[in-house]
Amino acid sequence: MTISLSSGQTKSTVIQEAASLTIKAEKVDSWQGKDVFHYVLDNGEMQVEMTNFGGIISRIIVPDKNGKLENVVLALEEIPDYFTKNGPYLGAAVGRYANRIGGAAFTLEGETYQVTKNNGENTLHGGKEGFGVKVWEPEVYKKEDAVGVKMTYLSVDGEEGFPGNLETILYMELTADNELKLRFESTTDKKTIVNLTNHSYFNLNGINGDVRDHELQIFADAITPTGSGQIPTGEIKPVSGTAFDFQTPKNLGTQLDALGEGFDHNYVTKRANSSELKKIAIVKHPASGRVMSVFSTAPGVQLYTANHVRNFAGADGKTYQPHWALCLEPEGWPDSPNKPSFPSTSLAPGEKYVHEIVYEFDTEY
C-alpha cells in the first residue's frame, strides 16, 4: 500500500501502521519547484528522520543501555539547511557513482564519456549535483512489520556527463526489529555505470565528542590501496598485520594513531558481485552500550573517519570536528569503470541494478 501526499498539503500527517509503527509526514519547503517533505518513522523504540530531498537520512534516534534516546548521525538543524549547506553529504543518497572515478572519464562499448570534475581532476559522488541534491518523488508505504518511504528519481541522459536515462527507486524503511533497510533499484535505456550508497556519518555516543572510543570490526581481509587523488592503483592489498586490519574488533583511536592519518579507504567485502546480503561491519560504543551492525550486497565498503569535517556547524548547536563520526559506505569499488579487474559497475538495458543495505541497532549491557 502506498500513501501519497498532495503537493498542496502542508499540515503534518500521522499514519498509524501496525502495532507501534508510525510515520509522520510533513511538507516543509520546496526546492526548484518540487515539494520537500520531512518524515519521521517510529517503531516505539527508535526513530528515523528522512527527507525526499537527496534521499537524506537526517536523524537516527536510538536508546543507549539505560534507555536514553539520542541522535547518532551528524545532522543539520532543519531540512531546508540541506539545500545549500551539505558539503559533506551528511546522510545523503550518493550517485550516479559513489566514490571516485579517475580522470573523471571512462569508456563503455568504445565510447569515452567525460563526467563532471569536482574532486581535483576526478569526479566524486556523481559530480557537482549528484543524487544527494535532487528532489525525489516520494510515496509512504507500510508492510506488516515495517513502515517506509519509496523515493523515485530519473537521472536523464547526459546528466553530469553520464549516459542513459537512469531511473532509480530507493526504498527506506524502519522495521519492528530496529533495522533501517535501504534498497536501491535502477534501470537504464542505454549502457551506463551505476554505484549507489548512503553517506551517513555515525557517532554512537550521541555526538558528544569524537569516535576514537568506538570499537570497529570490518569483515574484510583486504583493501584497494590508492595513489594520487585517492584513485585505486588496481591492487588488492591484504590488511593483516597493518593499521587497516579490523578483521577482529579494534579500538578506532588506536588504529587511527597507528595509521597516523584518517581513514578513507575501500575495504574488500567480496571479490565479485553477488546478491548475497552479507554482514560487513559491527560498530560498538562500549560506554553507551550502543551497537550497530551493517549488512550489504555490494562488494566493498568505504571507511571514512570524517577527516575533512572541521569547525562544521551541525544540529543542536554542536560544532563537528575531524573524527567526530565514521562513515561505512557500502558500494562498488572506486574507479571500477577504469579497472577491468574490479567487479563491474556497468548496467545495460534490460538489467536491474540492486543494492541492499541494512543498519541494525542494538544495545549491550
What is 97-118 written as a DSSP string?
Answer: B-SEEGGGEEEETTEEEE----
Q: What residue type is assigned to position 85 of the chain?
A: K
Q: What is the DSSP letter of 205?
A: T
Task: Give the pLDDT of residue 7.
Answer: 38
For residue 329, the model assigns a pLDDT of 98
**Rounded Cα–Cα distance for residues 12 and 10 (Å):** 7
Catalytic residue among 70, 179, 329, 331: 329
Q: Is 212 exposed, middle or buried (0-12, 13-18, 19+ CB in 10 A)?
A: middle
Give yes or no: 167 in active site: no
Catalytic residue of the set 38, 199, 265, 323: 199
Task: State the pLDDT at residue 16.
Answer: 46
Query: Which three cell numbers, joined as nine digits, stand for 147?
Result: 513502515
Q: What is the CATH number that goes with domain 2-363?
A: 2.70.98.10
The pLDDT score that the predictor gives to residue 275 is 98
199 given a catalytic annotation: yes
89 exposure class (CB count in 10 Å sphere: 0-12, 13-18, 19+): buried
pLDDT of residue 131: 98
pLDDT of residue 15: 46
For the chain of 365 residues, list the mean pLDDT of each consecutive stretch of 10: 39 52 98 98 98 98 98 98 98 98 97 98 98 98 96 98 98 98 98 98 98 98 97 98 98 98 98 98 98 98 98 98 98 98 98 98 95
**Percentage helix, strand, coil, to 5, in the chain?**
10, 45, 45
Handedness of CA 216, 220, 225, 230 (dihedral sign): negative
Residue 8 burial by CB count (10 A; 0-12/13-18/19+): exposed, middle or buried? exposed
What is d(CA 172, CA 164) in angstroms, rounded to the nearest whole number?
25
